[in-house]
Amino acid sequence: MGRPLHLLVARRVADVPPRAWQDVGLVLCPDGVALGLPPEEFTTLAAARRQAPQNLRPRSVLVYRLAAGFAPAPWITAPARTILGDSLSLAGCGAACRTGDRPWRGRSSRREAPRVGADPYDHGPVLQALVLGCFDYALVREWTARRWSDAGLLDPAAWGVAPVSAPLPDVVVLVSRRWPAADRVRAGERLVSIGRRQEAGTSAPEVAALSALERLGLAGFNPLLEPDFELTRRQFAPGRSAERP
């Protein structure tokens, strides 16, 4: 990017010291987290892509046990038998929290709330818990359900899969509006170029970036325009002002 990089890793947005935000230029995070960052401070730059055939944006899908029957919102009607992919991505929890709130928040018993997976980049462990009989319903990323189906781990005679969202940005990169427009454009171009060049022309930093991305199951980036992300914001956070948690 032509700028010095100081990496800050945080498990939660709230873990970032308030004074540190003035120095944050780029944010790599799940799309659900991005919705909570102030749009007047950050704008979208890119969305992560995966290897083909998973290089298109994923939807959120509900995987359900046919014997239990389809339920449009099992996180409300059958919370004890439901697990959400994670708490940070829209594929993992967006359909259950469209207004930014969790309807089960404040309930005293764990049996009154769905369980939540721990990894926003991989919903495989959530499906494993589902198949092993811990749950009847799981809200996960479409590509995870497809991968399990292709591997024969989701018998269509026992499991149903129903989409519950339009294609989602998934993992995104935001850039500070304090950066000059030219720098934002250049940063976006360099991100999008990762993994698309011929092997002989791949630079050492790009090789390192690709290696790190592969650990998250990612293969590079596609452009993510602000109006595009605004449509997602309207769908999952209608009338909600974005504030840092």
Number of structural domains found in the chain: 2
Residue 73 domain-assigned (yes or no): yes
For residues 180 and 213, state if they share a domain: yes
Query: What backbone phi and psi angles, to 5 degrees, belong to 44?
Result: -75, 150
Choice among 17-21, 124-128, 186-190, 216-220 with the minimum mean pLDDT? 216-220
pLDDT for 236 equals 86
Predicted TM-score (pTM) of this structure: 0.86
DSSP state of 177: T
The answer on 151 and 88 residing in a single domain is yes
pLDDT at residue 141, rounded to an integer: 96
On whether residue 244 sits in a domain, the answer given is no
242 or 146, higher pLDDT: 146
Residue matched to tokens 């930014």: 100
111 inside domain: yes
Of 104 and 18, more confident: 18
For residue 183, being part of any structural domain is answered with yes
Structural domain ending residue among the three candidates 124, 148, 163: 163
Task: Note down the domain range covering 46.
Answer: 13-52+169-236
Which of residues 133, 163, 193 is at a domain's end?
Answer: 163
Are residues 126 and 92 part of one domain?
yes
Say yes or no: 40 and 65 in one domain: no
55-66 per-position pLDDT tens digit: 789 999 999 999
* Bridge-based pairing state of the strands 60-65 and 137-141: antiparallel
pLDDT computed for residue 241 by the predictor: 39
What number is the average pLDDT over the span 199-228?
83
**126: domain CATH number?**
3.40.190.10
Tell me what pLDDT residue 245 has: 36
Q: Counting beta carbons within 10 angstroms of the beta carbon of residue 1, is it exposed (0 to 12), middle (13 to 18) or buried (19 or more)?
A: middle
Asked whether residue 151 carries a pLDDT value surpassing 50, the answer given is yes
What does the pLDDT read at residue 240? 43
Choosing from 122, 145, 163, the residue where a domain stops is 163
Please check whether residues 93 and 144 belong to one and the same domain.
yes
CATH of the domain at 29: 3.40.190
Q: What is the pLDDT of residues 77-112, one digit of tens each?
A: 999 999 999 999 999 999 998 754 455 555 545 567
